[in-house]
Every structure is written in C-alpha cells, then in structure tokens.
Amino acid sequence: MNRFLAVILSLVSLSSYAQDQAYPVKPIRLLVGYAPGGATDIVARSIAIKLQESLGQPVVVENRAGASSNIASEFVARSAPDGYTLLLGTIANATNMTAFKGLGYDTMRDFVHITQFMTAPSVLTIHPSVPAKNLKELIAVAKQNPGKIAFSSSGNGGSPHLAGELLKMRANIDMIHVPYKGAAPAIADLLGGQVQMSFQTALSAIPHLKSGKLNVIAVASKKRMGTLPNVPTMAEAGLPDFEVSSWNGLFAPAKTPSHIVAALYNASIKALQSQDIKDKMEAQGAEPVGNSPEEFKSFVKAEIDKWEQVIVKSGAKMD
C-alpha cells in the first residue's frame, strides 16, 4: 500500500512538474500603466497579438492607469512569478525610482527584465520666431536671454520635461518649464508661439516641420533617425552623450522561472522582427530594439542613474 501511495505521489509530482514546464497553459495578462489609445497602449496591443500567435494562448492587454504607471507596476511586482501577469514597463519605471518616495516596488529588485520593445528618440524643436538655426545658436540665444526662453512638455516628470531639464544642466542655461496636460496642448502653444521650444516625438514633430511651422534642431539619439536623415544628433550638434528617448519593454515579476523568461523572450524577439511591427513602430517615429535580458537590465539601471542626477539637481517636480 505504501509503495502504491509512493507511486501515486510520484506521478502527481511529475504531472505537476510537467504542467509547470508546459508554459503557457492559460491566458496571459499584459498590464499597461496608461489609458487606452496612447502610444504605450498601441505598442502593447500590437505586440500582444504577435505573442499570442507564438505562445498559443490569449495575451490580454489590461490598462491600469494612474500614478505615473505606479499602480500597474506595483500590481505586477507583487503578482505570482508564473509568467501570467506581465508589465509593459516604460521610462517612468526609471524616473519614478527617484521621483516618488515610499514607492511600493523597486524596478531593479522586483522585476525580471525580459527585453526592450522600442525606443522613440526625442526631437528638439523650436518656434520659427527664435533666431537660431542650430543648437549652438539656440544655446547662445538662451544665454543672452536668461529666464525668457520657455519650453513646453506633456506634463511634469515625462521625458519631454526631463529632456529640457537635462539641456538646461548640460548647456548651463536658464529656461522656464511650462507643463501641460498632454502632448497636444503642449504642441499647440508651441505652434502659437506662447512657448519657444519643446522636445517631442518624431511622430508629433514631423507634420509641423514639413509645413514650416516649427524648426528642428537635433535628435536626442545615438544615431540619426531614418525619418529625419538630415537632422543631426545632439552630439553632432555640440552636446555629446545627450540621449533622451521614450522606451518600453517587457517586465515579469522577480523569480519568474528561467524557462518562462526564455519563452517570453523568444516570442518577443520573433514579434519585433516581423515586418508589420517594424512598420507600425516606424509610423510612430520609433525603432524596435529586442536586446537580451542582461542588456535590458543594464539599460534600465543606466536610465535610473541618469535621471536620478537630473531630477535631484534640477529639483524637477513630478505629477
């Protein structure tokens, strides 16, 4: 009888082990810390379809907006590390580490960093009334008019805001930050001349550049953008090591088993290599990345360290 019981327990154990290894066996939730319809949500839904095709289970995007994505991030950080609750992390998961006290999660400690999905470099644009054709001339104008150049952003703590603060620090200039409730009003006042400059995504900037309503100074990326091949990088324009991009990538709770991480990584890379995903990202002024978990983790750590210096030194306030 004891031998029979031992055999049964052994079979149950093997069955449980096999089930654990056979990932996934049920739907996967992909949490997004922003409202439906935004750039992050669009990426999430596009990638989710591809992940579903590769993994053979539904990948359901769930929007939990609020607190600069902290609500969704904390929920995933505290979820079971079984691969069924994932997070589309963003630059906010780097900046929030410094900006918020008593944060309910740690971006480095509480997540497995699977891969970076995309990067969307910021583009420095100015109103035509500003007498500057390049970055050096813009800096000179700002130094001649301290506190009179205003830059708009989509809100406190976002990448357009922090890009402006970084420019102030690196160029040693005094400018005024004007936050808005979203990108649309920030661009509207730039077009109207109420503010003089702004860091934007290429998607937002290109229509106004083509119409001549805005001038583009530089892109804040390592290399020139395919959609703006004649626009220099910030480094080429005179400020080395100046990189600011909106980005996102796939996070899972810490202690997620390695075979699950591998399955998610492989499915993600396959998705990012598909032509329709590349086309959709290019249409948003973004580029697919698809780095390794180790590379993505190092990238996130570098982003945390970089923005910590900017936030602390500038005293930037977050929404």
**pTM of the entire structure?**
0.85
Residues 133 and 213 in one domain: yes
Residues 224 and 271 in one domain: no
Residues 304 and 167 in one domain: no
Contacts 24+ apart (CB under 8 A), 127-132: 127/190, 127/191, 127/193, 127/195, 127/196, 127/197, 127/214, 127/215, 128/212, 128/213, 128/214, 128/215, 129/193, 129/196, 130/196, 130/197, 130/215, 132/217
Instruction: Identify the band that residue 189 occupies on the pLDDT scale cut at 50, 70 and 90.
Output: very high
How many Å apart are CA 304 and CA 319, to the nearest integer? 18
Instruction: Identify the band that residue 204 occupies on the pLDDT scale cut at 50, 70 and 90.
Output: confident
Residues 255 and 115 in one domain: yes
Residues 134 and 211 in one domain: yes
pLDDT of 39 above 90: no
Q: Which of 202, 198, 207, 201 is nearest to 227 (CA)?
A: 202
177 within a domain of the structure (yes/no)? yes
Residues 138 and 59 in one domain: no
Q: What is the model's pLDDT at position 3?
A: 60
Domain final position from 181, 205, 237: 237
Beta bridge partners of 249: 89, 116
pLDDT of 221 above 70: yes
Residues 141 and 228 in one domain: yes
pLDDT, average across residues 298-318 = 90
pLDDT of 15 above 50: no
pLDDT of 302 above 50: yes
Residues 129 and 229 in one domain: yes
Q: Which of 54, 61, 211, 23 is nearest to 128 (CA)?
A: 211
pLDDT, average across residues 74-93 = 97
Most confident among 148-162, 226-240, 246-260 (mean pLDDT): 246-260
Which tokens go with 285?
Answer: 């002024």
Domain with 305 in it: 26-120+245-314
213 within a domain of the structure (yes/no)? yes
pLDDT of 244 above 60: yes
Domain final position from 189, 209, 237: 237
CATH of the domain at 54: 3.40.190.150
5 within a domain of the structure (yes/no)? no
9 within a domain of the structure (yes/no)? no
Q: What is the model's pLDDT at position 11?
A: 45
Mean pLDDT of the chain: 91
Instruction: Identify the band that residue 1 occupies on the pLDDT scale cut at 50, 70 and 90.
Output: very low
Q: What is the model's pLDDT at position 12?
A: 46
pLDDT, average across residues 1-20 = 49
Residues 154 and 295 in one domain: no
Name the DSSP letter for residue 102: T
pLDDT of 46 above 90: yes
14 within a domain of the structure (yes/no)? no
* Range name among 6-10, 127-131, 137-141, 226-230 with the lowest pLDDT average: 6-10
Mind listing the pLDDT tens digit for each residue in 103-113? 999 999 999 99
1 within a domain of the structure (yes/no)? no
132 within a domain of the structure (yes/no)? yes
* Range name among 23-27, 74-78, 208-212, 307-311 with the lowest pLDDT average: 208-212
Report strand pairing: 287-288 vs 28-32: unpaired
Residues 85 and 141 in one domain: no
Residues 184 and 224 in one domain: yes
> Is the bond into 293 cis (omega within 30 degrees of 0)?
no
As a dihedral over the C-alpha atoms of residue 86, residue 88, residue 94, residue 96, rounded to 10 degrees, the angle is -80
Residue type, position 133, single letter: K
How many Å apart are CA 155 and CA 60, to the nearest integer? 29
pLDDT of 4 above 80: no
DSSP string, 239-274: -TT---EEEEEEEEETT--HHHHHHHHHHHHHHHTS
Domain final position from 190, 208, 237: 237
Residues 100 and 134 in one domain: no
Query: What total of structural domains would you count in the chain?
Result: 2
Q: Over pLDDT 90: what percentage of the chain?
A: 71
CATH of the domain at 165: 3.40.190.10
6 within a domain of the structure (yes/no)? no
CA angle 151, 155, 160 (to 5 degrees): 50
